[in-house]
Amino acid sequence: MKRRTFIKLSAIGAAGMVLPLQLEAQAAESSLLWPSTLITPTADFYILQIGKPVEINAAHWRLAVTGLIEKPAAPLPLEDITAMDAVTTMRTLKCIGDAFGTEQMSNATWKGVRLRDVLQKFGVKAEAKVVVFRCADGYHTAIPLANAMRDETLLAYQMNGEPLPTEHGFPIRLLNPGHYGTKNPKWIVNIQLAVQHESYWEKRGWDAIAAVKLATAIGTPNEGEKIKAGTTYTVSGAAFDAGNHGGIKTVEVSVDYGQTWQEAEIWAKDTPLAWVLWKWEWQVPESAEPVEIYARATANDGLTQDEIGIEAEPVGATGYHTVDAEIVAS
């Protein structure tokens, strides 16, 4: 992985969110780590969509709920949605096309309403199997009805304590835990209950489930970085499983091509639906030589990342993250 356009993080507090105590304890040294806090500033959060971001006037926007519903009703204005019982939570989003590493993975606090509460206003017919989301940019995707009815599945209207920016889906986007960004659509204008649906990316060969795979990323050092011999160097990064394997249990680092592994310290974490941050203090050898740094994660269900791994297309990548660096004379 080349020099990262990796997210540069700074401490952000969000209304209703208590950040872990580990962050306060490590504040003095956080500048040595990458990422340095759990929350990605909104301006640095990764942005991907099929076209250009869509500018939407909130006063004119309405959310239509259609299809296999029992109580057809007028589309909902934004104020009707924000008046409902709200949830504030921390979530990490990751792109299914992201290779090993973290260029397209970011973390934020979000506020929104449970999708289930919106659907129940309209009633869901027994024959409905999927919930389809149609977006103002032409994008469309679907999730199983069972996923839509979970407590954790939200229609978010705030990000890091502010209204969603245009680039992140204003006025409403989906937060569908456990799944890549393809299943977390932005600029939603219509929710349809249906029996089945072939989504935008499935038509192009990508996985229909899009469940997040176990992921580890090295933030420091950068690819090709020169590290002084005989010093102590902090290797750091993030790991994430979106809760699909019970959260991250351990992260390990190897500097001898995977022959031995050293456990890193997980120094900041929140919910399993958000990434964890880790670091490992490396006593750099005295000899000047090239080095490959490996990182892998083990989840709470016992799954450990494989060296061989899986490429991103069509199901999402998993495997060791490796960085080539060079030990140089002090």
3-state secondary structure 128-184: CCEEEEEECCCCEEEEEHHHHCCCCCEEEEEECCEECCHHHCCCCEEECCCECHHHC
- Residue 314: pLDDT band (50, 70, 90) is confident
Note the pLDDT tens digit of each residue in 105-136.
999 999 999 999 999 999 999 999 999 999 99
- Residue 39: pLDDT band (50, 70, 90) is very high
- Residue 14: pLDDT band (50, 70, 90) is very low
Residue 29 has pLDDT above 90, yes or no: no
Beta bridge partners of 291: 325
Residue 89 has pLDDT above 80, yes or no: yes
C-alpha of 232 from chain center = 31
Which position has the token pair 């009703």? 73
What is the Cα–Cα distance from 279 to 295, expressed in whole angstroms?
11
The token pair at 296 is 């892998």
Omega before 314 within 30 of 0, i.e. cis:
yes
Residue 95: C-alpha distances to residues 80, 92, 178, 286, 316 (Å)? 31, 10, 12, 39, 8
Residue 146 has pLDDT above 70, yes or no: yes
Residue 302 has pLDDT above 90, yes or no: yes
Does residue 1 or residue 131 have the better pLDDT? Answer: 131
Residue 159 has pLDDT above 60, yes or no: yes
The token pair at 34 is 């990458």
Domains, the chain: 21-204 (3.90.420.10), 215-328 (2.60.40.650)
